[in-house]
Amino acid sequence: MKFTDALWHRPTGPEFSGGVEVIDVLNDGKNNGELDFLAATRHVAGRGDTLNGKVQQGSIKAALMNYAKSTGKPALPPSWTYGLYLSTSFTPYDEKTVLSFLDDPETYIKTVKEKYNVKVCVWINLYISQRASIFQEGVDNGYFIKRANGDVWQWDFWQAGMAVVAFTNPEACKWYAKLLQGLMDIGVDTFKTDFGERIPRLGVEFHDGGDPVKAHNL
């Protein structure tokens, strides 16, 4: 049984006093499940034939705290980030309405914040469309994930001919951070990150030479 970079949690209580019977599994973000050591039929949502991970005993809260200690704790975000988020993603605006937002985004964001007394969060992903003005810059500087033959890896699943930012490349990280800073300069307060789980893993090479399977949600 293999769970890459998994977290196993051993529940506690009278029903488990005889030993480790059932272990909840939180793995690499793709599959969750449990290991039942006493069941006649064992079902494991994993890969391979070896066991690889950490066992955390106690409550879920204690297990997560211990796991955070081993992986590193993030900085505490501002208190307002824990408030209500209202999303208009996939709202069927017509083209004229959408373009009106883009004519002067800085003024638009400022107006929204002043009128409704809110913070502005934008939804981002790690894809760069080949029609984007910054696409060629990314190609020229090696900021995208590449195929084994050295070509930029592209597909059409979300945006036509899109490439994926290679976040194992420190220079690509700086470049992407600069792009985000540009959005913050015009009034954006925070970002919702998405789609890290859809990075390619077959026939590709990462900048740091690491295993693409382990790079999900990097």
From its phi and psi, is residue 39 left (phi > 0), alpha (psi between -120 and 50) or beta?
Answer: beta
Per this entry, what is the length of the chain?
218
Active-site residue, selected from the candidate residues 171, 197, 208, 211: 197
159 or 49, which is more confident? 159
β pairing state of 121-125 and 162-164? unpaired
Q: Which of 104, 106, 194, 208 is catalytic?
A: 194
Residue 54 has a pLDDT of 62
**Residue with tokens 């029609």, as numbered in its chain:** 131
**In sequence order, what are the residues at sequence separation of 6 or more whose Cβ sits closer than 8 angstroms to the Cβ of residue 93?**
none
92 compared with 171, residue with greater pLDDT: 171
Contact 88, 94 (CB under 8 A): no
Q: Is 194 a catalytic residue?
A: yes
Q: Where are the alpha helices (DSSP H) in 14-134?
A: 60-71, 95-103, 105-116
95 as an active site residue: the answer is no
Q: State the average pLDDT over residues 197-215.
A: 84
CB atoms within 10 A of CB 145: 24
| Rounded distance between C-alpha atoms, residue 73 and residue 204, angstroms | 30
129-140 pLDDT, tens per residue?
999 999 999 999
User: What are the helix and strand counts (H, E) for the chain?
Assistant: 5, 11
Q: Which domains does the chain have, with CATH numbers?
A: 6-71 (no CATH), 79-215 (3.20.20.80)
